[in-house]
Structure formats: C-alpha cells, structure tokens
Amino acid sequence: MAELTTTAPHAVRSAPRRRRWFRRNDIGPLEYSRKIWVQLFVGATFLMLYAPIITLVAYSFNDSRRNVVWKGFTFKYYIKAWNNDGLFEAFMNSITIAFMSTVISTILGAMVALLLWRFRFPGKAAYEGFMALPIVIPEICMGVAMLVFFARIGWPSGMPWPLNLSAITIAHIAFSFPFVAVVVRARMSGFNRELEEASKDLGASEWQTFWNVVFPFMKPGIVAGALLAFTLSLDDFVITFFTSGPDTVTFPVKVYSMVRFSVTPEVNAASTLLIVITVIATLFAMKFQAPDKGSAH
Amino acid sequence: MSEAIISIQNVTKRFGSVVAVDDVSFDIRPNEFFALLGPSGCGKTTLLRMISGLEIPSDGTILIDGMDTDGVPPNRRPVNMVFQSYAVFPHMTVLDNVGYGLKVVGTPKPEIEQRAREALEMVQLAELAERMPDQLSGGQRQRVALARALVKRPKVLLLDEPLSALDAKLREQMRLELAKLQESVGITFIIVTHDQDEALSMADRIAVMDGGRVSQIATPEELYESPKTRFVADFIGKVNLLDGEASRGRGNAVTVAVDGIGAFNVEDAEGVEGQVSLAIRPEKLKLSAKKPTGKDVKVQGKVVDLAYYGNASHVFLETTSGISLTANVQNDTRDFDDTLAVGDTTWVSWRATDALLLGG
C-alpha cells in the first residue's frame, strides 16, 4: 500500500482539485433556493399575498375620506371606528362568538379525534367521512341549511346578549369542530402506543394516563386546531350571514354592509385591528405549541 | 407452586383466527434470568404482554407470586416492563420519567425524588437527571426505561427486545450490564429476544418458542449441545443436519445410515428407529488434508465457499456424494488464508459422539 501513494505524481492530485474549485458555484439539482426563476416566483407570490394587506394597513392611517390618494398620516379613523357603536358592537359580537365557538369546537373536535384514534367500531370509516363533511360542503349550502334548520325548529330570537348569538355560535361550532378533529387526529397518528402502555404498566390509571401522557402529546394539535377554529369563526361571512338577525351583526357582516356604501378608512382601521388580534393569537399559539419532541419512534 | 414466581398454566391467546400462543405451560423461578427466544411471530412478545397484563389470555391462568392475575389490570400487577421503543415520556425530564411510577400511586414527593435518584444511580445516569429525553442517546434512553421500571421495586422485570435498537458494540456491553444488574437487584428478569447470542449469553434458562408453542426449556448449554428438536437445533447456532435411517445397534446404541456418508453408531439412543436427523455443530467438524486415522466418522469433500468472520471462518463443503456441510474453523494463526481455498479437496471428520440424534 505504501508504494502506491509514493508513486502517485503531483499532476494527478492537482487536476481534480482545480476542477472542483471551478465547479464550486454550480447549482445542485435540489438547490432550488439558488435558482433565479424560483427566487422570482417566490418573490412574486409574497408580493401578491402581502401587498393588499400592507395597503389596507397603510391606508387605515390615511387622512382622507376616500381610499384613493395619500393625504397624510392620522389616527383619526381608529378613533372614529372605536366610536362607531354599530361597528364596535359587531366587533364584540364576533370576538364573543369566536371565543365560545373555539372553546366548544376544540373540546368536541379533540374528543372526536380521540374516538377515531382510539377505538374500532362498526361504521367507523363512514363516521369519519360524515364528520369531515362540513369541511368540503360549500359554505353557501351550510348557510342555507342552518337558516332552514333554525327556522324550522323555531330557535328563539331576540334573547338578551350574549344568548342572542347562540344560533351563530352553534353554526360556527358545526363547521369548525371537524377542522380541529382532523388536525388532532393527524397529530395522534404519530403517538407511540407503548407510551400509554408504559404509563399503565407503571401503575397509572386510565385517567392519569390520559392527563399525564396522552394529553401532553395532543396539546400542539389542540392548540393548532383551536387557532384554526378561532380564525374560521372570526372571519366567517357566508354562514354567519344566513344565521344572523338584525340585532346580531358580526364584524364581517357589518364591514360588508358598510362597504356597500363606501370604503372608508374606518373599515381599514377596524380590519387592521382584526389582523393584529389574529397575529397575536397566532404568536401566542406558536409559543404554546412546544417543538415536536420525539413524537414517533 | 410456591417455588415459581410466575406460573403459566395452559395459556392460549387467539387474535381472531390466529393462535399466537398455543396452550403453553411452564414455571419461572424466583431470581432467575429467563429468556423467551424465538423467531418473529412465535408468540414470545404476546406471552410477555400477557404477564404484564397488556394482553388478556384467551384461555389458561397466569400466577404471579401465587396470585391469580385474572382480571388484574397492568397497573395493579407487581411486574414492570421495559418496552422495545423504551417508551420514555418525551415531555418529562429524566428524573420525572423515573419518578412517574411513584407519583401516580401517591408516593410522597421527597421519597419520589430520593428513590428516583437512587434508581438513576443504579443505571449510571445520575448526572443526566435534569435532561429531556430528546437530549439522550438510545442507550441512555434505555437506561431511563430500566430505572423507571426498577424504581417500582417489581417482583419481576419484563424486557421486550431491549437491545434490538442498539448498535452492536453497545449491545454487547449492555448484555453484561443487564446480567450484572439482575444479580445486584436480585429479582426475576424475563427477556424477550429473537437474538440467540443475547439469550445464550445472559439467561439462566431459555424457553425456545416456535409457532405459539414452547419447543424446549433448558439452560443455554443444554439447548446448544442437546437440542431436543430439529427446530431448536437449527435455531440455536449453526448446525449441519443430516437425514438418516436409524436401526437397532448393539446394546443401547443405534446404527444410523446416512446416504453418501455411511453407517455409524450413536450411543444412548435406545428405541429410536426410522427417519431421523443427525445434528453436528460446525465447530465439531475437523478438516485435514490427509485422511484422518482413528474411529471418527470421515468423509471427503470439496471447499465450495468461504465466509470470513475475523476470529473464525465458515467453510462450506460439498462431499463427493453431494451432501453440503459447514465447518467452523478458528483463525488462530494469521496466515489462515493460505491453508484453504475454494476448490480444495479436504477430509472432514467428527467424533461419532458429537453428532446428536433428533427424532423426526
């Protein structure tokens, strides 16, 4: 072996080296982030996604009745939006509905996910399909169905706040709990059943095992599902439109009716506030959503 | 029955139409290192899980320290398990993992902490108590699983393929450590494994399972040198199996005629007749260039292939009559390479008493 290395001449060593230096800047087949067309495409996508939002936020500070030309910076429309009783009430309605709907649909969805993950029962596949139906049914159909349903059973209207929001809340729960269930179910498929068995083997009861071992694993899925339910409820227009009455206007419905007359910076200001709330909720959720630790083995 | 820490009596487990464990009965003695060995799907893990209570027998009884386990859930059995995936809780620190089994039964906090730290000491993980499991290596995680089970002071520790996920070097080290640990804690260990080396090197007794049944329960030496069935002989170690016809010989000996090799006497096999298998371990075959003298069974063959393992080599031979034999040759000199080559003709011999007669 020693002889082989000593007889190798210098020329043999330097040739491939130079070649490698020369080729160092070539783009590998999977290095998409270094390809110009990919960079352009990504840039264009971000522009399309965020330019409207940035515009909306920017014009909420525009000192002009019309949303066309920039006339200077002001907070005036935030104050105006705050003092607009109709808009404020709609905003509070939306938040209340979203909160109630999120809590209930998260619990319901998590329970459905557990049921589907844990048990085998006749008609399980059919149940799983039907449960996820609200995800695929067109919203307009859901809306009409809800309208007919509440009218048919004579759901009381004109109750004091917040009971007057019950119909909308129920409708929101109906379409958002499947989303929670699907997210949590996906999370649970990575659960190592031996963890559960280990817990029982170590002396824990079914209940202790659930809260100490299964639930901590579910939590990121539950947080993600809850966030989804919250945003779905907060910005739902179609189904809400069909289930809301004159005294139960939500934020999206109110904005729609305002825009029909004119788009004022007031709407921009209120929308910006909504975006901020959603972003804060997301950040909050991401903080709670612990990094995935040793999920599946 | 008081002699047995675990008594398995006519236990059967069916999954639908599949019989995983088929009418198995045996006892495991106190302070024994017992291994359940068999190929995958032989029912060894199912049997272990029935002892732990994670599966319920379809039929039969399992007594743990004289207590009938019928209807006793896993959390009320005096046994603990080390799982194949270790099942270390990912969201708890090492210390919390180890203390978990004490916490859920309401042990006072200071005692939990003290006992958990002692258990970690025992598996040499004391300095990693505050780590999260994802900061541990596979071997360390396994130690956590061990400590977590031992902290409960079980009467029996169950280990489900505990070494299968470790690399070869670590596996060997853990074998020794497990054996030492078992001695120091002085409780019964039951290990499930498909790795015969693991079972042979650690266990006091081994139950070899095949198709849901126990083929043989014996000490490692007995299993290797005196397997009772063809399956056990074939499963434990390597073996040359020759088919022959047995007929009565002189005294309590039997004459076995093997096609292409000849007839020879096997002692102490009274009453065996008809179709039999003759088992000879590869290391019992001797190779020599010249025809050996003496009473050994000898046959001439050709080297077909060589497999080099470092310390030893397997020589695959074919006799002139077309029978395949494998011989194990120790590479006790550095120039082994020069002594044998594919295509060489050699003499193979073995002592008649080294061949074992197996019925069927």
User: Do A20 and A50 fall into the same domain?
Assistant: yes
CA distance A150 to B136: 57
B312, burial (CB in 10 Å: exposed 0-12, middle 13-18, buried 19+): middle
User: Do A96 and A31 fall into the same domain?
Assistant: no
Mutant choice from B52, B83, B93, B136 vs A, greatest count of A C-beta within 10 A: B83
- In the prediction, which pLDDT does A45 show? 96
Query: B129 — alpha (psi -120 to 50), left (phi > 0) or beta?
Result: alpha
User: Do A73 and A187 fall into the same domain?
Assistant: no
Strand duo B254-258 + B286-288: pairing: unpaired
- B contacts of A200 (beta carbons < 8 Å): 54, 73-75
pLDDT for A135-158, tens place per residue? 889 999 999 999 999 889 888 877
Pairwise CB contact (< 8 Å): A201 & B100: no
pLDDT for B262-316, tens place per residue? 777 777 666 677 788 888 999 998 888 888 887 788 888 899 998 888 888 899 9
User: Class of B238-358 per CATH?
Assistant: mainly beta
- In the prediction, which pLDDT does B269 show? 64
Pairwise CB contact (< 8 Å): A203 & B54: no
Q: What is the ipTM of this complex?
A: 0.83
The structure's pTM equals 0.79
In this predicted structure, the answer to whether residue B330 has a pLDDT above a threshold of 80 is: yes
- B contacts of A297 (beta carbons < 8 Å): 85
CA distance B236 to B208: 9
| Average pLDDT score over residue span B58-67 | 92
Contact status, residue B273 vs residue B247, Cβ threshold 8 Å? yes
User: Do A136 and A53 fall into the same domain?
Assistant: no
Annotate B214-225 with DSSP letters as a single string: EEEEE-HHHHHH
Residue whose entry in the numeric block shows the structure tokens 């399309």: A48
Higher pLDDT, A25 or B76: B76
Mean pLDDT of chain B: 88
- In the prediction, which pLDDT does B270 show? 62
User: Do A72 and A16 fall into the same domain?
Assistant: yes
Query: What residue numbers bound the domain in which A207 lies?
Result: 79-261
**A129 in a structural domain:** yes
- In the prediction, which pLDDT does B57 show? 94
- In the prediction, which pLDDT does A148 show? 92
Nearest residue on chain A to B101, alpha-carbon basis: A202
- In the prediction, which pLDDT does B7 show? 93
| Average pLDDT score over residue span B201-222 | 93
CATH number of B6-231: 3.40.50.300
- In the prediction, which pLDDT does A226 show? 92
Contact status, residue B112 vs residue B170, Cβ threshold 8 Å? no
Can you give the residue ranges of every domain in chain B?
Answer: 6-231, 238-358
User: Do A70 and A111 fall into the same domain?
Assistant: no
Say whether the peptide bond before residue B154 is cis (omega within 30 degrees of 0).
no
Higher pLDDT, B20 or B275: B20
**A268 in a structural domain:** no
Contact status, residue A295 vs residue B90, Cβ threshold 8 Å? yes
User: Do A94 and A193 fall into the same domain?
Assistant: yes
**A295 in a structural domain:** no
What domain count does chain A have? 2
User: Do A16 and A139 fall into the same domain?
Assistant: no
Strands (E), chain B: 6-15, 18-28, 33-37, 59-64, 67-68, 79-82, 156-160, 188-193, 205-210, 213-218, 240-248, 254-258, 262-266, 274-280, 286-288, 297-308, 312-319, 324-330, 345-350, 356-359
pLDDT for B100-133, tens place per residue? 999 999 999 999 999 999 999 999 899 999 999 9
Query: A214 — alpha (psi -120 to 50), left (phi > 0) or beta?
Result: alpha
CA distance B201 to A204: 34
- In the prediction, which pLDDT does B50 show? 94
- In the prediction, which pLDDT does B14 show? 93
Put simply, the chain A residues between 92 and 111 with a CB less than 8 A from any chain B CB are none
What CATH number is given to the structural domain containing A228? 1.10.3720.10
**A25 in a structural domain:** yes
In this predicted structure, the answer to whether residue B352 has a pLDDT above a threshold of 90 is: no
**A110 in a structural domain:** yes
- In the prediction, which pLDDT does A246 show? 77
CA end-to-end span of chain A, whole Å?
44
Pairwise CB contact (< 8 Å): B75 & A290: no
User: Do A138 and A255 fall into the same domain?
Assistant: yes
User: Do A249 and A163 fall into the same domain?
Assistant: yes
CA distance B247 to A33: 79
- In the prediction, which pLDDT does B277 show? 84
Mutant choice from A201, A212, A215, A218 vs B, greatest count of B C-beta within 10 A: A201
User: Do A28 and A138 fall into the same domain?
Assistant: no
- In the prediction, which pLDDT does B292 show? 83
CA distance B225 to B221: 6
- In the prediction, which pLDDT does A28 show? 81
- In the prediction, which pLDDT does A106 show? 96
Low-confidence residues of chain A, pLDDT below 50?
Answer: 1-15, 292-297
Mutant choice from B50, B77, B86 vs A, greatest count of A C-beta within 10 A: B86
Of A202, A204, A216, the CB nearest to B91: A216
Put simply, the chain A residues between 182 and 221 with a CB less than 8 A from any chain B CB are 192, 194-195, 197-205, 208, 212-213, 216-217
User: Do A174 and A191 fall into the same domain?
Assistant: yes
One-letter amino acid at B342 equals: V
* pLDDT confidence band for B338 (50 / 70 / 90): low
CA distance A270 to chain B (A): 41
**A276 in a structural domain:** no
